[in-house]
Structure 1
Amino acid sequence: MSAGSTRASFVVYVALIFGLNLLFLPRYVSRNVFLLGVSTVSAFAVLIGLPAYIIGDYELAWLQIQLYSAKFQLPIFGTEIQFLQSIFVNPNLLGVLTFAGAFGALVLTVENAQKRQFLPISVSAALLFVNSFGMYLTHARASWIAFCLASTVYLGYVLLGRESVPYSVISLALLTFLFFAGIFLSIIPIDTHGRFALWTGGLRAFLDAPSPLGYGLINTHEAIAPYVPDPAFRGYSPHNSYVQIFLNTGIIGGLMYVLIVFGSIIEGIVRKNTVDVPMLGFALGFAVHQMFSVYTLFNTAVASILSALVFGYLICGYRK
């Protein structure tokens, strides 16, 4: 890669943003300010997206609000509705934002209730309802799983204390592994839309990487295409952040990335007496969510910024 190429400048630009999100902003911006901010922005995206179910696609200033073409069935009424997409090009993007917004609102609601601050409780509870409802309408199942994992860790801590944290995190990680194994072995009937084929193709492409630093900043869609056995899924991304980072940066960068993500979670388990438990649960949710997407912490996507900030608050949030 030429030192003067736009790709080289992209690396420098993203590295700066990554450093700010991971090490700078969490030290100087309150964790609750972050949670309130993301839950408010997420609720705004949901609220301006809901009218599309009544009036159809529309424009709000420079924003294009629309619904996704795919549909899913409501369990209560038995009718099919389109996925909520709002201002994004894909409902999964709104899904990860509403996951962050819903969990942030949940933490604020519980903490306000513990402090008996009744006005903030009503605000945070409303944000929790709006974001949870929006997350359901996106039909982003990875976001559902992430929210359930993060909420279980946090609510277990609230009800059972800090001693429950290591057990809940390890148990949830094991259950998640068994869940994936059940899907892979077709024991659990869930359509993965070819993700296992894409993951396998990505891993095979990684093993054939030209160097320990991987392929560099390439189009991973094309890199894994020859290794994907099913022609129906060729031309797609790996749909897995870990596979993506190993392809781009090789064994060296991939292991460093895994160390940041899972090393931070393991350290949080070890330091259970001083860790910020809500951010530990948040980080576990994002760690699992990255198995279904390719945003990675080292990028400029909405999910990348959010996840990097979450891990930053986890790393910087230990009590003295």
Structure 2
Amino acid sequence: MNKFSQNQLSFLLSGAFFLILLFNVFTVTKLPISDLAFTTMEWMHYVAFFVVGYTMAKQVQGGNKITPFYSGITLFGLGYVLVHLINGNYYNNSELTVILLYLVFILAVSHVKWKPKHFILFGYMSLGVILLLMIQWVQLGAQMSSFQSYIRNPNILGVFVSCLLFFPLVAIKYVPTWNRVLFIFGIGAACILIYVSSARAVLLLLVTVFLSRLILFYSKKVFYYLLGLLLLFNTFFLLVYTMLANSAYFKKLNELSVDIFGKNLFSGRQDVWESVLQFGLKQPFFGHEVGIVPKDYIEGTHYVHTHNQYLQIFIESGIVGMVLFVLFLYGIWKVYQKGLDFSIVRWSACFFLGILVYQNVEVSLFFNMQSIGLLQWFIISVGISGVLYSKTMENDTRYNS
């Protein structure tokens, strides 16, 4: 097969890969096709094994650039296996397998050489989905709150559109001038869809993305400290939110939130968080069980997950798991710092921060919304790939801002 045919095949496969990523989102809809989407999502995990094997066999040069990432993901994966064994949960290995498959997916995406033409393709495909959602929104009367399309609830629609938004933002610099008008329209439409979904956590995600992008524009040194500040904020948010829910300001804050967003500020998460913390502290070091859900330890609860990714990791694997997860995040962050001269790495790093803020009130990186989690890890991992192949990128001015 000549080089031209190889490039064509690579381009087609990348398009098919991204199309399946989008198709997987049908798992969070109320449509009959959701069963097929669950199947394709499972296939994607296993295809990742072949991608990892192929890229490792090629012995990609520059792997030392992402050593912190390798260290972090290895420690996190091995740590989860060790905690699982310590807790003696041999009867249920499926949930642990899911986490390990996520890690394989992350490794696979991080080792693929993504080019501008790929991001242009992903950008146009994302714009197509955004346009379809926009048309449906108008046809349904252009409601200004709680728009959810065919998806189970508005919050999931909001975070899905936020994932789609990443690709036009990355691709806009690679397309001809007139095409940028279309991309600007698509970016604006995505922001409108997020707003009318009333997904406040996603609005916070976007604020984090654009604020961190602004900080990066002015100072890489300040940008470096954002991960640490964000993790401190996440801890502070959890504690303060729970305290305010039990304070005299509860009613006033709820009323203010309804006036502004049309939703209560305290929707019940504070109740499940208190129960999670209390149960988690019974086995603080190694946690209880990978994949544990509220109904396993909160009698009569209607919550299907903890609504906080960090609490979920804590209750599954304790302080040990949390420390390893933070080291994993820090490893990714250290790698990003080596490629901030490139647009794709900058956007990936900023969305990384936004996604971590989003995990304060949802669980999407592991379990729960798996199709959304794959999209979010894809966004995070293409930035790692950008650093891995930075030598190639230096010779292509299109990568630079």
TM-score in terms of structure 1 length = 0.71
Q: CA deviation at 1:213?
A: 4.6
- Tell me how far 1:304 sits from its aligned partner: 1.1
| Structure label with greater radius of gyration | 2
* C-alpha spacing 1:255/1:181, structure 2 compared with 1 (3 Å): closer
Q: CA deviation at 1:31?
A: 6.7
| Structure with the largest fraction of helix | 2
Whose RCO is larger (CA < 8 A, sep 6+)?
Answer: 2
Correspondences of 1:1-320 after superposition (within 5 Å): 7-9=92-94, 11-20=96-105, 22-30=106-114, 33=118, 37=122, 40-41=125-126, 44=129, 47-48=132-133, 50-51=135-136, 54=139, 81-109=144-172, 111-112=173-174, 117-158=176-217, 160=218, 162-166=220-224, 183=241, 184-185=243-244, 186=249, 189-190=256-257, 191-209=265-283, 212-218=286-292, 220-225=293-298, 234-236=301-303, 237-265=305-333, 267=334, 271=338, 276-297=345-366, 301-318=370-387, 319-320=390-391
Structure 2 gaps, min length 5: 1-87, 258-264, 392-401
- SS for the counterpart of 1:40 is helix
C-alpha displacement of 1:27: 2.2
Residue deviations 1:163-212 (CA, integer Å, cap 9, x gap): 55236666666777776676554596541312223222111111124982
CA shift for structure 1 position 26: 2.7
Is 2:134–2:189's contact at 8 Å kept on the other side of the alignment? no
Per-residue deviation, 1:123: 3.1
Contact 1:205 1:223 in 2 (8 A): no
Identity %: 21
Measured at CA, do residues 34 and 242 of structure 1 come closer, stay the same or move farther in structure 2, by a change above 3 Å? Answer: farther
Q: Does structure 1 retain, via aligned residues, the 8 Å contact 2:204–2:354?
A: yes
Matched pairs, number: 282
In structure 2, give the amino acid aligned to 1:288.
V
Aligned-pair distance for 1:34?
5.3
> How far apart in 1 are the matches of 2:159 and 2:358?
8
TM-score by length of 2: 0.58
The one-letter code sitting in structure 2 at the alignment partner of 1:154 is R
How far the C-alpha of 1:41 sits from its partner, in A, is: 3.7
SS in 2 for 1:317: helix
Which stretch shows the higher mean deviation, 10-19 or 121-130?
Answer: 10-19
Which one is further off, 95-104 or 143-152? 95-104
Deviations 1:284-309 (A, max 9, x none): 00111011112234676122102222
For 1:39 and 1:246, the matched residues in 2 are separated by 39
Greater strand percent: which structure? 1
- Compute the RMSD of aligned alpha carbons: 3.7
**Which deviates more, 269-278 or 247-256?**
269-278
Contact 2:289 2:317 in 1 (8 A): yes
